[in-house]
C-alpha cells in the first residue's frame, strides 16, 4: 500500500527534468506553478459571491474544489506518486461533476428527472461510483470526465450561437482561445518533449497549469452568466472584469443589477 505514495510510483513523467532544483521536489516548475490555483480561486470565490448568494451557495463548491485540484496537483508533481496522480485526476472529475450538476440546463434533463435536486443526486452517485472504480481501473475517470466536459461544452456552444450580447460573445472567444492554448501546451509537453529539451525549455506543463486556471475562470463566469439569465432573470446579470472592466482585462465575473422579476434576453 505504501508503494502508491512512493516518489515516482506513477507511470506518468512530464517533460521537465526531475530533481533539477531540489532533491525533495521531482518537477520544480510544474509544482510551483500550481500556486496560481491558490491565488485565483479565493478571488473568484469573492467575485462570484453575489451570483452564488442569489442562485445557490453550492456554486462556491466549484472554486473551493479548484483549491483542492491545485493542492493535489502540487502533491503529484512534487512526488510523481501514483496516489498523487489519482488525487489530481479525481479532483478534476469532482470539479466537472459539480459544474455539471449546477449548470446543466433543466430543459435538457431526461424526462424521468423532475428537478435539479434529483439530477444533482444522480450526478453525485455517478461520480462516487467512478471515483471508487478508478482505483481498480484508472481509465474509468477519463470516460466520465469526458462525458461531463463534452456535454457542458455542447451546452455552451448551442447557447453562444444564439447569444446577442457582444460582451458575452467576446468572453466566449477569449475562453476558447485560452482552452486551445492550454491544451496545445499540455499536448506539446506530452508528445513533443524531445524538441523542447533541445531548446532547453521544458516548462509547458507548468504553463498549462497557469492557462487552465484562467480558462476555468472564463468558462465558469460564462456558463454562470447564461445560467443566471435562465434561473434568476430578475437579477439582470451583467459581465464585468476585475480589476479593469474598461479594457476587459483580468478576471471576468457577474454583477447583478436588479431584483424585479423581468426577463432579459440572451
Ligand atoms: Zn499538472
Q: What is the Cα–Cα distance from 223 to 145, expressed in whole angstroms? A: 18
Whether 224 is covered by a domain: the verdict is: yes
Q: How far is the CA of 101 from the centre of ligand 1 (A)?
A: 25
Q: How far is the CA of 3 from the centre of ligand 1 (A)?
A: 21
Whether 262 is covered by a domain: the verdict is: no
Contact between 58 and 95 (Cβ < 8 Å): no
Q: How far is the CA of 105 from the centre of ligand 1 (A)?
A: 30
Q: How far is the CA of 241 from the centre of ligand 1 (A)?
A: 27
Please tell me what DSSP assigns to residue 22: -
Segment holding 166, helix H or strand E: helix 166-191
Whether 191 is covered by a domain: the verdict is: yes
Which pTM value belongs to this model? 0.92
Contact between 140 and 134 (Cβ < 8 Å): yes
Q: Which cell numbers in the block locate residue 101? A: 450538476
Q: pLDDT tens, position by position, for the chain (266 residues)?
A: 678 999 989 988 999 999 999 999 999 999 999 999 999 999 999 999 999 999 999 999 999 999 999 999 999 999 999 999 999 999 999 999 999 999 999 989 998 998 999 999 999 999 999 999 998 887 888 889 888 988 998 999 999 998 999 999 999 999 999 999 999 999 999 999 999 999 999 999 999 999 999 999 999 999 999 999 999 999 999 999 999 999 999 999 999 987 655 555 55
Q: Which residues are near ligand 1, the ion (C-beta closer than 5 Å)?
A: 73
Segment holding 66, helix H or strand E: helix 60-79
Whether 163 is covered by a domain: the verdict is: yes
Q: How far is the CA of 210 from the centre of ligand 1 (A)?
A: 10
Long-range contacts of 118-124 (CB under 8 A, 24+ apart): 123/97, 124/97
Q: What Cα–Cα distance (Å) separates residue 165 from each residue in 33, 154, 171, 238, 265?
A: 34, 19, 10, 10, 8
Whether 179 is covered by a domain: the verdict is: yes
List the domain range (segments joined by +) for residue 85.
Answer: 2-256
Contact between 225 and 103 (Cβ < 8 Å): no
Q: How far is the CA of 95 from the centre of ligand 1 (A)?
A: 15
Q: How far is the CA of 100 from the centre of ligand 1 (A)?
A: 22
Segment holding 239, helix H or strand E: strand 237-244
Whether 205 is covered by a domain: the verdict is: yes
For residue 145, which of 190, 95, 104 has the smallest C-alpha distance?
95
Whether 265 is covered by a domain: the verdict is: no
Q: How far is the CA of 35 from the centre of ligand 1 (A)?
A: 12
For 110, phi then psi, to 5°, come to: -60, 150
Domain count of the chain? 1
Cβ neighbors of 63 (< 8 A, separation 6 or more) are 41, 42, 44, 45, 48, 220
Contact between 218 and 252 (Cβ < 8 Å): yes
SS3 of residue 237 by DSSP: strand
Q: How far is the CA of 118 from the centre of ligand 1 (A)?
A: 33
pLDDT of residue 140: 84
Query: What is the CATH classification number for the domain harbouring 13?
Result: 1.20.1070
Segment holding 161, helix H or strand E: helix 139-161
Q: How far is the CA of 168 from the centre of ligand 1 (A)?
A: 29
Whether 263 is covered by a domain: the verdict is: no
Amino acid at each position: 500500500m505504501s508503494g502508491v505514495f512512493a516518489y515516482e510510483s506513477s507511470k506518468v513523467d512530464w517533460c521537465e527534468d526531475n530533481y533539477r532544483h531540489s532533491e525533495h521536489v521531482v518537477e520544480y516548475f510544474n509544482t510551483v506553478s500550481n500556486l496560481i490555483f491558490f491565488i485565483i480561486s479565493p478571488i473568484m470565490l469573492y467575485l462570484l459571491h453575489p451570483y452564488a448568494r442569489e442562485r445557490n451557495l453550492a456554486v462556491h463548491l466549484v472554486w473551493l474544489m479548484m483549491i483542492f485540484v491545485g493542492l493535489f496537483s502540487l502533491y503529484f508533481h512534487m512526488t510523481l506518486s501514483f496516489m498523487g496522480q489519482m488525487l489530481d485526476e479525481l479532483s478534476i472529475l469532482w470539479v466537472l461533476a459539480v459544474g455539471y450538476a449546477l449548470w446543466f440546463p433543466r430543459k435538457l434533463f431526461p424526462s424521468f428527472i423532475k428537478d435539479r435536486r434529483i439530477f444533482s443526486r444522480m450526478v453525485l452517485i455517478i461520480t462516487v461510483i467512478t471515483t471508487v472504480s478508478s482505483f481498480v481501473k484508472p481509465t474509468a475517470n477519463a470516460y466520465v470526465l469526458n462525458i461531463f466536459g463534452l456535454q457542458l461544452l455542447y451546452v455552451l456552444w448551442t447557447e453562444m450561437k444564439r447569444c446577442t450580447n457582444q460582451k458575452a460573445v467576446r468572453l466566449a472567444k477569449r475562453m476558447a482561445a485560452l482552452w486551445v492554448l492550454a491544451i496545445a501546451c499540455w499536448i506539446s509537453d506530452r508528445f513533443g518533449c524531445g524538441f523542447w529539451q533541445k531548446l532547453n525549455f521544458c516548462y509547458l506543463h507548468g504553463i498549462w497549469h497557469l492557462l487552465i486556471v484562467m480558462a476555468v475562470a472564463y468558462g465558469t463566469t460564462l456558463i454562470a452568466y447564461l445560467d443566471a439569465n435562465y434561473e434568476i432573470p430578475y437579477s439582470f446579470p451583467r459581465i464585468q472584469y476585475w480589476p479593469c472592466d474598461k479594457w476587459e482585462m483580468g478576471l471576468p465575473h457577474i454583477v447583478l443589477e436588479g431584483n424585479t422579476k423581468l426577463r432579459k434576453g440572451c
